[in-house]
Chains A and B, each alone.
Chain A
Amino acid sequence: MEKLLEVKDLTVSFDTYGGKVQAVRGVNFDLYKGETLAIVGESGSGKSVTTKALMGLIPSPPGNIEKGEILFDGKNLAKLSEKEMTKIRGKDISMIFQDPMTSLNPTMKIGNQIMEGLIKHQRMNRTDAKKRAIELLELVGIPNAQERIKQYPHQFSGGMRQRVVIAISLACNPKILIADEPTTALDVTIQAQILDLMKDLQKKTEASIIFITHDLGVVANVADRVAVMYAGKIVEIGTVDDIFYNPKHPYTWGLLGSMPTLDNTEEELVAIPGSPPDLINPPKGDAFAPRNPYALKIDLEQEPPMFKVSDTHYAATWLLHEHAPDVEPPESVKRRMKGFAKTGTAPGVDEKKGDES
């Protein structure tokens, strides 16, 4: 598969009153053409910051990209000027945000908000841009688009607004679409519809999607590959099968153990004990060690490198070292893994479809 984006050793920090927050600490990943890469992890693990860095949207001050490369289309996006970035944003890479209630300009007509990007990047005149805006609204499933483009955001429901945001993001046929928890703020039935829409549109446009979510059920539903983030680092990355059926990192086990599945609803969910580390003074060694029941002595001393599990699957845990003891995932997680294998997908997002009103 063709590599579209290559992120190398991305390091982002924020200057705050309390000190320097090391939000992203050396992230590496590739994005292939046409795939969906999910990024999962607890709140504060650096998912949003990582993707904002790709778009040059880290507010500075207080934010800084300290190190690293973001290679796209022969350019290093981490080094581009603001002016050069404006040519890429919205055109090659675009973004969908979490809260559709706040991500549209309340005093601008929907049509104009879609047309702006078209006029800027594709040098369309207003008539053509308007035509295209109507097409886009129809594409994302908004009926009566002709009339709807003259309306303001408050005249749309949450799900409808997210469709509008998707239309905006797709306007210039981007190569990469970043979706930062696009369904978290929506209720379950609407969530399912938006996910279906995104899958459908991806087939049509062949865009690569980076999909940020807390919800492993959504991951199983939409993603090809998964990156698990913890405390500003990717601790495990692999295909959906790798992560769900053969997880190697204890943090990934913890995530899977805390996730409900269809067939073992009566089983109790296990929360990961403790809380994420302070990113102003990240601990020495493996940041997950204090919460990790399988931590080895070396975890407190030295950060684990990425160990290769297979060509597609890597994990940063000393448990994969040749001298490490053999540790199996906990029974509950193993049962759960079998559960995924049996039902195909994790929680039944697909089962909960309904009508949006």
Chain B
Amino acid sequence: MARYITQRIIYMIITLFLIATATFFLMKLLPGTPFNMEDKLTEAQKAALYEQYGLNDPLPVQYANYIFGLVQGDMGISFQFDNRKVEDLIMDRIGPSAQLGFQSLVFGTVIGLILGLISAIKRNTAYDYSSNLMAILGKSIPSFVFAGLLQYYLAVKFGWFPVSFWDSFKHTILPTIANAMFTLAVTQRFLRTEMLEVLGSDYIVLARAKGLKNSVVTFKHGLRNALIPVITIMGPLVVSMMTGSLVIEKIFAIPGIGEQFVRSIQMNDYAMIMGTTMFFSILFVVVILIVDLLYVVVDPRIRLTGGKE
């Protein structure tokens, strides 16, 4: 097990290095240059800023400097916010993003699991059909469209919720729902399929043949086994939720990392773009590692082989 984890961490570091390299060069291909939004700057002032941020160095030198800084935990200085360090800026903004992410993950998976379970137990009934309809909508409508719809109807038209900003818990409800819809839909579909397969398996018939109550068979023997594979989709879901939150934060004017990230791209704030990308990347690989380890812990069939690796 320890060997397995070490191996995984080495792969993680290689992955992160590749992401850093790719993002660095891709970003240089972005149209426009930094500081061009600030019309008030003279050419001479711009040149001074370029020099100060090392943007006049040859690309390989810039790259080497960046990677060197990154290894030491230094993500550089943001261009747009007077000389503030990128990592500080991210930390300032992490609160709302983390809250949005956490709330949507919990809401999306819990409701998705409940709907999936109902669908499977009551398959081919009105319950199943409505649950499926909801999942199909959640999967096919992009979250920004959903966000707009929620905002227009529930906030603007009926006035039940605030339109935007991040203040009370009430402010968080619409963005959470909009951000969670995809997760909810995917979880519903996945659990429904898994549960139906499990409920049709021989060991469920054997459990019933033992004379166990239906509820015991469904939950203790059925749900438990159907839930294990759900863990595998949690990694990708967390990822999609993080990327989804970029847009959601923008739409609801939430002062989070995503909103800042979108603005940094518009402003060609290279250090900020790189820093945020690396921050998300680190989060992704860590989440995926945790999910894989969780799988090993929960599924007894993997425990042995996992240990040998």
Contacts and interface: CB of A to CB of B under 8 A. Distances in A.
Contact of B210 (A94, A99, A154, A155): A94
B211 A90 contact: yes
A108 B203 CA distance: 11
B202 A97 contact: yes
Interface string B191-229: 000000000011101111111111000000100110010
A55 B221 CA distance: 19
B301 A89 contact: no
Interface residues of B, number: 21
Contacts of A168: 206, 210
B54 to A, nearest CB: 56
Contact of A106 (B207, B211, B301): B301
Interface stretch (A116-124, A260-268, A348-356): A116-124
A107 B299 contact: yes
Contacts, number: 74
Contacts of A86: 211-213
Nearest to A154: B301
A10 interface: no
Interface residues of A, number: 31
A149 interface: no
A47 to B, nearest CB: 15
A307 interface: no
Question: A interface, by DSSP: helix, strand, loop or mixed?
Answer: mixed
Question: B interface, by DSSP: helix, strand, loop or mixed?
Answer: helix
A302 interface: no
A90 B209 contact: yes
Interface in A19-57: 55, 57
A178 to B, nearest CB: 9
A152 interface: yes
B300 A107 contact: yes
Contacts of A104: 203, 206
A246 B21 CA distance: 84
Nearest to B224: A107
A152 B203 contact: no
A89 B211 contact: yes
A126 interface: no
A88 interface: yes
Interface string A96-117: 0101001111111000000011
A107 B229 CA distance: 12
B203 A154 contact: no
A95 interface: yes
Contact of B209 (A82, A89, A102, A155): A89
Contacts of B225: 105-107
Given A94-B209, A97-B202, 7 more contacts: A86-B213, A87-B211, A90-B210, A103-B205, A103-B206, A117-B212, A152-B300
Interface of B: 201-203, 205-214, 221, 224-225, 228, 299-301, 304
Closest 8 CB pairs of A and B: A90-B211, A89-B211, A90-B210, A103-B202, A102-B202, A152-B300, A117-B210, A95-B209
